Amino acid sequence: MVRRIGGLLSIMVIGFCLVGCLGISGSENINDIMTLLKAKVGEEVIMAHIADKGMSFDLSTRDIVKLKKAGASDGLLSYMIGKATGDFPFELGEEFMVHSPAVYEHLAIYPVFRKTSLEIGDYITLDKAQRNKVVIISELSSASVPTVLIKNTGIKAIFVMAGEIIIGGKQDRMVSFDILIPGGKEVKVEVRCVEHGRWHGKSVEFSSGGALGSKGVRTALQFKEQHDVWDEVSKKCAEIDVASQSGTYGAILSSEEVEKRSKPFLDAMKQVLTDNGTVGLIMALNGEVVCVDIFANPKFFVEVKEKLLKAYVLDAISSEETSTKLAGKQEILDFFNELKNAKTAELKKYDANCNTELESDVLIGNESRDKDGRLQHLNLYKK
């Protein structure tokens, strides 16, 4: 009998030790965050620390109140709650994995990784081509709003993404569809005007604006008409409270106020989204998946990452709703499952690549593939 009681006591002691040990990590993690908050460490650094240490949390109501009193923003709390779901990482179809999001206020960005590498040749971005002085962008000899000439004077192919802004010429434009321009080739490229009030200029040449359009503008570029693009540019300028005499989207890009409002979002995202294996991003606002950009490989993604983040943040700072609800695994899977219902149609075919429209009741998007059928860019938007 004594031996039996002793055994039970041993089991109870072991049980209490296990419970204590299991509870310590979560409690210690919360205490670590409290210490950082009290030391006035910036939240972007705190989120980077959480990601780097692989911390997880199971926040009670009491924990949330305690952290809030210590100065935690709703964005940081949402990020910590997201770390408790256990949903991440998870498989997205046969090719991809989705990892835990970077969160700031009502914006969440989920990094996407490819299970196996995809080699599609060596090509460079428009911005890199401009830095290397191997690209010339100009008006046609008889200037036309919907078309410009892009000449690749280098050896490597240049990939230009739908929504990239080019500044100059007779008016600023945005590229309508993804295009791959082989070395030594000059191509007529379809564009849309994003500067309604100007049709003059000292030069017929353009330079890369180093930026992408917001979700509404990019959607209109690819799937709607010129007047819809102007409407979206005007709408975005009004939402962010930016104006210019010629009505150019470029006014947003040069606004100091926009830069100031964007900075905390960008700092938070950049600190967390640092893995070199990333091939794309999923953007969610107010708990809803609204935009996806996935590329062929990490090497190319890293060249366009900052440009994508800035475009996503423009949508965040102009959003009227500011819910800190997070999109979870099921919301992301439901969005992607819509691809099974999507109808397809050719959008724009160039010599080296083809753009295909994907549309369901919930989403619309563009899948760009090279002439060998290899994926270059998958771009999806919530309707």
The per-residue pLDDT for range 247-289, each reduced to its tens digit, is: 999 999 999 999 999 999 998 888 667 777 899 999 999 999 9
What string of DSSP letters covers 301-340?
HHHHHHHHHHHHHHHHHT-S--------HHHHHHHHHGGG
> What does the pLDDT read at residue 7?
47
Distance CA 227, CA 230 (A): 5
Q: Are 131 and 60 part of one and the same domain?
A: no
Would you say residue 37 lies in a domain? yes
> What does the pLDDT read at residue 3?
46
Would you say residue 13 lies in a domain? no
Q: Are 64 and 144 part of one and the same domain?
A: no
Q: Are 36 and 158 part of one and the same domain?
A: no
> What does the pLDDT read at residue 119?
81
C-beta of residue 133 within 8 angstroms of C-beta of residue 111: no
Q: Are 127 and 219 part of one and the same domain?
A: yes
Pick from 97-101, 190-194, 239-243, 297-301 the range whose average pLDDT is largest: 190-194
Distance CA 81, CA 75 (A): 10
Residue 360 has pLDDT above 80, yes or no: yes
Would you say residue 299 lies in a domain? no
Residue 23 has pLDDT above 60, yes or no: no
> What does the pLDDT read at residue 55?
82
Q: Are 25 and 79 part of one and the same domain?
A: yes
* Chain mean position to CA 113: 13
Q: Are 133 and 56 part of one and the same domain?
A: no
> What does the pLDDT read at residue 283?
97
Q: Are 252 and 149 part of one and the same domain?
A: yes
91: left (phi over 0), alpha (psi -120 to 50) or beta: beta
End-to-end CA distance of the chain: 71
Would you say residue 98 lies in a domain? no
Q: Are 49 and 148 part of one and the same domain?
A: no
The residue from 260, 293, 310 where one domain ends is: 260
> Which comes out higher in pLDDT, residue 117 or 178?
178
Least confident of 20-34, 152-166, 224-238: 20-34
Q: Are 204 and 142 part of one and the same domain?
A: yes
Would you say residue 60 lies in a domain? yes
Strand partners, 147: 144, 190
Interval 133-157 mean pLDDT? 97
The residue from 30, 57, 84 where one domain ends is: 84
Read off the pLDDT band of 357 (50, 70, 90). Answer: very high
Strands (E) in the chain, as ranges, are 90-92, 96-98, 102-104, 107-114, 123-125, 135-144, 147-152, 157-160, 164-168, 173-175, 179-181, 186-193, 205-212, 278-285, 288-295, 343-349, 353-359, 363-370, 375-382
Mean pLDDT score across all residues of the chain: 89
Looking at the structure of the chain, the number of domains it has is 2
For the stretch 44-94, pLDDT in tens is 788 878 877 778 787 888 888 999 999 988 778 877 776 655 688 999 998
Read off the pLDDT band of 340 (50, 70, 90). Answer: very high
- Collect all residues with Cβ–Cβ distance below 8 Å to 102 and sequence separation of at least 6: 47, 51, 79, 108, 109, 111, 268, 269, 271, 272, 273
> Which comes out higher in pLDDT, residue 188 or 52?
188
C-beta of residue 152 within 8 angstroms of C-beta of residue 158: yes
For the stretch 314-336, pLDDT in tens is 999 999 888 878 899 999 999 99
Q: Is 245 exposed, middle or buried (0-12, 13-18, 19+ CB in 10 A)?
A: exposed
Residue 169 has pLDDT above 70, yes or no: yes
Would you say residue 193 lies in a domain? yes
C-beta of residue 227 within 8 angstroms of C-beta of residue 184: no
Q: Are 51 and 177 part of one and the same domain?
A: no
Distance CA 206, CA 218 (A): 20
Q: How far is CA 218 from CA 9, 53, 65, 163, 214, in A?
A: 67, 37, 40, 5, 6
Q: Are 180 and 244 part of one and the same domain?
A: yes
> Which comes out higher in pLDDT, residue 346 or 74?
346
Would you say residue 361 lies in a domain? no
**What residue numbers bound the domain in which 62 lies?**
18-84
Q: Are 141 and 255 part of one and the same domain?
A: yes
> What does the pLDDT read at residue 83?
63
Would you say residue 250 lies in a domain? yes
> What does the pLDDT read at residue 15?
37
The residue from 209, 227, 260 where one domain ends is: 260
In the DSSP assignment, the letter for residue 54 is: T
> What does the pLDDT read at residue 105?
87
Distance CA 346, CA 223 (A): 11
What percent of the chain is modeled with pLDDT above 70?
91
